[in-house]
Amino acid sequence: MAKSTDKTTKRKPTKARTGLPLPAGVPAKAKKAPKAVRKAESRHLRPLDLGAAGGDAGVLDDLWRTVEARRTAGDVAHSHSARLLARGTPKVAQKLGEEAVECVIAATMGERGETILESADLLYHLLVVWVDAGIRPEEVWAELRQREGISGIVEKAARPKGIVRAARTTKLP
């Protein structure tokens, strides 16, 4: 059968790369679905074991060491961390902000499972920011330890009035 050359008969793609239907509003000519959809799709393709046993905070120290190793010896062709770090501090910081917003959205929507996943993305990108800035996890853990037992309300009330906290915040009192 002769191949139709009439453009109008060409079916508009209605599926994303993964074969899942594009959500309403995503232009059919979109090269790829919006990031949130891509993420959700990839999660759909990789059933998640939310609340998996064996999770503990030590993973953060381990993950920091892995990302730090990617900074020094990572291959941008095979390591997301190496590629992100190679894109420079502004991009590293931008990605943290993006992931924070995605976590805010999931939490606001009351999506517990999605909030867990977005929290993991956010923590990973925070570790990349630390590696990029030369911050070791124990420096942050020490700061949190120092705050133990001091209520946030008491801490804020004790700040000198009218003086911007010693270069630790851009917020005016």
Ligand X SMILES: N=c1c2ncn([C@@H]3O[C@H](COP(=O)(O)OP(=O)(O)OP(=O)(O)O)[C@@H](O)[C@H]3O)c2ncn1[C@@H]1O[C@H](COP(=O)(O)O)[C@@H](O)[C@H]1O
- Encode 35-51: b = buried (16+ Cβ within 10 Å), e = exposed: eebebbbeeeeeeeeee
* Angstrom distance (rounded) from CA 159 to CA 152: 11
Per-residue x/- track, 1-20, ligand X (CB under 6 A): --------------------
> Which residue from 16, 22, 68, 70 is in contact with ligand X, where contact means CB under 6 A?
70
Residue 43 in contact with ligand X, rule: CB under 6 A: no
* Secondary structure (DSSP) of 24-68: TTS-TT-SS--HHHHHHHHHHHS---TT-TT--THHHHHHHHHHH
Residue 124 in contact with ligand X, rule: CB under 6 A: yes
Q: Using the rule CB under 6 A, give the single segment among 17-25, 44-52, 78-86, 133-141 that binds ligand X.
A: 78-86
* CB hemisphere CA count around 5 (13 angstroms): 1
Q: Using the rule CB under 6 A, give the single segment among 3-11, 13-21, 74-82, 151-159 that binds ligand X.
A: 74-82
Residue 132 in contact with ligand X, rule: CB under 6 A: no
| Count of residues that bind ligand X according to CB under 6 A | 12
> Which residue from 16, 95, 114, 117 is in contact with ligand X, where contact means CB under 6 A?
95
Look at residue 15 and give its three-state secondary structure. Answer: strand
> Which residue from 35, 43, 44, 159 is in contact with ligand X, where contact means CB under 6 A?
35
* Angstrom distance (rounded) from CA 111 to CA 99: 15
C-alpha angle 115/119/122, rounded to 5°? Answer: 135
CB 125 within 8 A of CB 99: yes
Residue 81 in contact with ligand X, rule: CB under 6 A: yes
Q: Using the rule CB under 6 A, give the single segment among 66-74, 107-115, 137-145, 160-168 that binds ligand X.
A: 66-74
Residues in the site for ligand X, rule: CB under 6 A? 35, 63, 66, 70, 74, 79-82, 95, 121, 124
